[in-house]
Amino acid sequence: MTRIGFTGVGAMGAPMVRNLLAAGHEVTVWGRSPSKLAPVLEAGAVPARDLAEIAAQDVVLGCLLDGAAIEEVYLGGLLSHARPGQLFADHGTYAPQVAERVAAAFAERGARYLDAPVSGGPMGAVAGTLVCAVGGDAAGVEQLRPIAQAYTGRIAHLGGPGRGLALKLINNFLVSINFVAAAETAWLIERLGLDPDAAQGILYGGMADGAVLRQGLSKALAHDYDAGGMSLGGLVEVQRNIAELLGGAEFRSGLFPYAQEVFAAAARSEFTRHPSALTRWLPGAPSIDPSSSEQ
What is the distance between the alpha carbons of residues 244 and 209, in angstroms, rounded to a whole number? 29
What is the distance between the alpha carbons of residues 10 and 26, in angstroms, rounded to a whole number? 19
Cβ(219)–Cβ(274) under 8 Å? yes
Please give the positions annotated as active site.
168
Cβ(62)–Cβ(13) under 8 Å? yes
Q: What are the CA-CA distances from residue 147 to residues 16, 58, 83 (Å)?
A: 11, 12, 19
Q: What are the CA-CA distances from residue 186 to residues 20, 116, 181, 194, 224 (Å)?
A: 38, 34, 9, 10, 12
Contacts of 195 (CB under 8 A, 6+ apart): none
What is the distance between the alpha carbons of residues 280 and 294, in angstroms, rounded to a whole number? 12
